[in-house]
Amino acid sequence: MSVGVATMVGMTDSTAEPTVFSRIVAREIPADIVFESDTVIAFRDIAPQAPVHLLVVPKTQAYRDVVELAEGDPALLADLVATASRLAADPVAFGEHSGAEFRLIFNTGASAGQTVFHVHAHVLGGPLQEGTLAH
């Protein structure tokens, strides 16, 4: 999935420029934020690939992808997944598509579609379109 806000690619070391997601956390870039805690933020993707398309992002940019996050902070990964599940059940965040069913996608690496190298989950809701993953 392409992330519309993601023309800037950040690095994860402490000397790197902030990622676009870190800039959203810092309120330097506007976003339609649907949830925020001490550890994660969730907002609507500006180029949705489904009727509902949210991004759930750890506030730290210390992890480039889900593999690094799983190895480095499994509790934060669990928090991210739990947040996605809660949002999918929330009629305010997920609208008419709220309930227990959703898709959770982590793109890992450029050839897999990752465009922002700050770990994030795509939370998608609504019916799959013909010719997509609905096989």
Catalytic site residues?
120
User: DSSP letter at 47?
Assistant: S
Cα 39 from Cα 62, distance rounded (Å): 12
**Distance separating alpha carbons of residues 118 and 18, to the nearest angstrom:** 9
DSSP state for residue 17 in the 8-state scheme: P
Q: Which two three-digit tokens encode residue 17?
A: 């420029």
Tokens encoding 38: 């001490």
Residue with tokens 């922002």, as numbered in its chain: 116
